[in-house]
Amino acid sequence: MPNSSVAPGGDRRRSRYGRYTGGPDPLAPPVDLAEALDAIAEEVMAGYSPERALREYLRRGGAGREGYDDLARRVAERRRELLQRHNLGGTLQDIRKLLDEAVLAERSQLARDVTMNDDDRAFREMQMANLPASPAAAVNELSGYDWQSTDAREKFEQIKDLLGREVLDQRFAGMKQALEGATDEDRAAIREMLQDLNALLDKHRRGEDTQQDFADFMRRYGEHFPENPRNVDELIDEMARRSAAAQRMLNSMSEEQRRELMELSAQAFGSPDLMTQLGALDDNLRSIRPDLDWSGSEDFSGEQGLGLGDATGAVQDLAELDELAEQLGQGYAGAHSSDIDLDAVKRQLGEEASVSAETLAELERAMRESGLLRNSADGSLRLSPQAMRRLGKTLLADAAKNLSARSGARDARLAGASGEQTGASRPWEFGDTQPWDVTRTVTNALQRTAAEESAPSARVRIEVGDVEVVETEARTQSAVALLVDTSYSMATQGRWVPMKRTALALHHLVSTRFRGDQLALIGFGRRAMNVDIDELTALPPVHEQGTNLHHALLLAEQFFARHPSMNPTLLIVTDGEPTAHLEADGTTWFDWPTHPETLRQTVTQLDRVTRRGARTTFFRLGDDPGLERFLNQLADRVGGRVTAPELDDLGAAVVGEYLRFRESGFGEVDWG
């Protein structure tokens, strides 16, 4: 970001730029809600709830963007790497090395010292040669030894110092480094801190502590707590997590390793008092936070040894990775992207992963706040009318593209039939054939040019975005019944989503470009029903047999009867012969294969519909010869026709047929 300053003698400002470190990149592109909406809608149309569809999209991620599953996989890899790279014997290895160096230095000194009594030398050499194989037992045996070598004495003191710093590092991260080279006064100060900390925790357990007690403690010892807790509860939470991790680390060791460390710990700083204080601290923390995992263990199997403090940190990392895995899984009730600890993602997986997680959280927030998703009365998430319009517009554009590809030229029918001008204008869209509103178009161009150029120009450039067209009234009105097969075979054969996409494209065309027309959406499975577009979009497939075209035609006839002055259009999308019909008492009759009575009822009802003048087209899905013969016979009977589009072309086929019927009354397009 720039830092500006005024140059001497003038008003010119100079700026220096550096890396932006104040949070999310302000120049980063916004999240792509259109892509997310398309993906979510596809899942919704396949039968998922919008809530689940949103969760699935966030798990998969978008184009070129990691999803939660990708991050969870990296978490699992990180966890596996920690376990396979490390082992818990680092401290024992370091002690063994220091012990070997001390013994070697002592033996060398004994061999060089010519003033020493031979018996004394022989006794000492025998003592060095017969030390126990156990590092703990050897250190314990040598704790009172009178070292002759200064170097050996220093090495042995380093063992005590290392043990002290390691056991403290188990409970206080970073203490191993902080106490390196510490004096006796420093160690005494640590013991005093532990005494005061245990006193504070004891008071807290009894409910007698105050915020002033905590403030006094932090004023004296705050340097040992870089997390900067604000109260005693935060202090306890951080320390208890570390202490529980230390216990799980010990649980993860072999029985021999634990025994060695327990015996060695008594030598920490050369005084058992430290372990007494640490034991009291662990007891206090365990009693205050029994809910933490104090009994778990991990299976470290690598070659790189870790000291006690680093091993405890590794166990803490494993616990944090487990929490991240649960957060990223989003499998619990009420899961939300805001639950994910972005700081933990950054610590464990790095900056890039943190940015990915933050982007996904921003996308979920934007989807919920943009108006594309809304909460229904029952608390569930639904696609909003705004989302339905955006989806319909996209799907209609796809249908228009396919229509254009069919004819080899721009399909102008999507503009609507020209009629009387309404007096209004609107921005030009692809496919429009209405006349330009010249005044509005030139005004738009002038305003845009004036805004873009500092100096006025005598020339006016008209761009596509400037163009507005005159709105016109349509000269005909149609009542369109779209009957869509919702039997289970539509879902099993991959026709469920294309069917819904088709209905949504046609609905958008009618509701935005031919507002005088009426559209009925009728789904038919074992029974038929009138459905709104949002109901059809969210309709899940039901494992139920039956294709009740008879009931659907009955509802279509009722729809046409309500709009007697409109031209009736009947569009039927199906992948199977009728196997059910509605009885006089309202019950459903089902039989497979097609029963003669079902066939008779269906044909009779189709005749009733077409006697109202309905122009009919069947859209046959699949290659069933029986269905092909049946639909061809129905089409011949009522003067309709049958088309067999590919699934990708179904939307264009239905939209094109609607437009063909709409225009056939005044012959604007030759469809021969």
Q: What is the pLDDT of residue 3?
A: 47
Cα torsion angle, 257, 254, 167, 162, sign: positive
Helix count (H) and strand count (E) of the chain? Answer: 25, 16
Please give the Cα distance from 658 to 185 (Å, whole number): 92
Cα torsion angle, 605, 609, 615, 617, sign: negative
Q: What is the pLDDT of residue 172?
A: 87
383, 372 contact by CB (below 8 A): yes
What's the distance, Cα to Cα, between the start and end of the chain in Å?
A: 65
407, 653 contact by CB (below 8 A): no
Long-range Cβ contact pairs of 623-627 (< 8 A, separation 24 or more) = 624/575, 624/576, 624/577, 626/577, 627/574, 627/575, 627/576, 627/577
536, 524 contact by CB (below 8 A): no
For residue 198, CA distances in Å to 217, 265, 276, 424 come to 11, 20, 11, 80
Q: What is the pLDDT of residue 15?
A: 43
Domain boundaries 478-664, CATH class: alpha beta
Please give the Cα distance from 635 to 572 (Å, whole number): 11
Please enumerate in sequence order all residues whose Cβ is within 8 A of that of 464, keeping only pairs 6 or more positions apart, or say none. 428
Q: Which residues pair with 482 in a beta bridge?
A: 521, 571
For residue 509, CA distances in Å to 146, 361, 518, 596 come to 98, 34, 11, 38
Buried-exposed string 396-425: b where 16+ CB fall within 10 A, e elsewhere = bbbbbebbbeeeeeebbbbbbbbeeeeeeb
Q: What is the pLDDT of residue 568?
A: 94
Work out the average pLDDT over 21-35: 56
Q: Which of 510, 606, 594, 499 is nearest to 550 (CA)?
A: 606
Please give the Cα distance from 246 to 266 (Å, whole number): 17
Please give the Cα distance from 553 to 573 (Å, whole number): 12
SS3 category, 375: strand
* pLDDT digit string, tens, across residues 137-196: 999 899 889 999 999 999 999 998 888 888 888 888 888 887 887 788 888 888 899 999
For residue 521, CA distances in Å to 32, 383, 533 come to 31, 18, 7
653, 643 contact by CB (below 8 A): yes
Q: What is the pLDDT of residue 67?
A: 87
| Residue 28 in tokens | 């980063």
3-state helix vs strand vs coil in the chain, percent to 5: 60, 10, 30
Q: What is the pLDDT of residue 670?
A: 32
641, 489 contact by CB (below 8 A): no
Q: What is the pLDDT of residue 128?
A: 92
* pLDDT digit string, tens, across residues 551-581: 999 999 999 999 998 999 999 999 989 999 9
For residue 633, CA distances in Å to 471, 551, 630 come to 42, 19, 5
Task: Flag whether pLDDT at 410 surpasses 60.
Answer: no
Q: What is the pLDDT of residue 457?
A: 61
Cα angle, residue 23 at apex, residues 22 and 24 outer, rounded to 5°: 135
Work out the average pLDDT over 339-350: 91
* pLDDT digit string, tens, across residues 187-230: 888 889 999 999 999 999 999 999 999 999 999 999 888 889 99
Delimit the domains of the chain by residue range.
29-86+322-383, 89-299, 418-473, 478-664
Question: What backbone phi and psi angles, to 5 degrees, belong to 202?
Answer: -60, -45
pLDDT band at 412 (very low <50, low <70, confident <90, very high): very low
Better pLDDT: 261 or 53: 261
Q: What is the pLDDT of residue 46?
A: 67
59, 327 contact by CB (below 8 A): no
Work out the average pLDDT over 536-542: 80
Burial class of residue 245 (count of CB atoms within 10 Å of its CB; 0-12, 13-18, 19+): buried
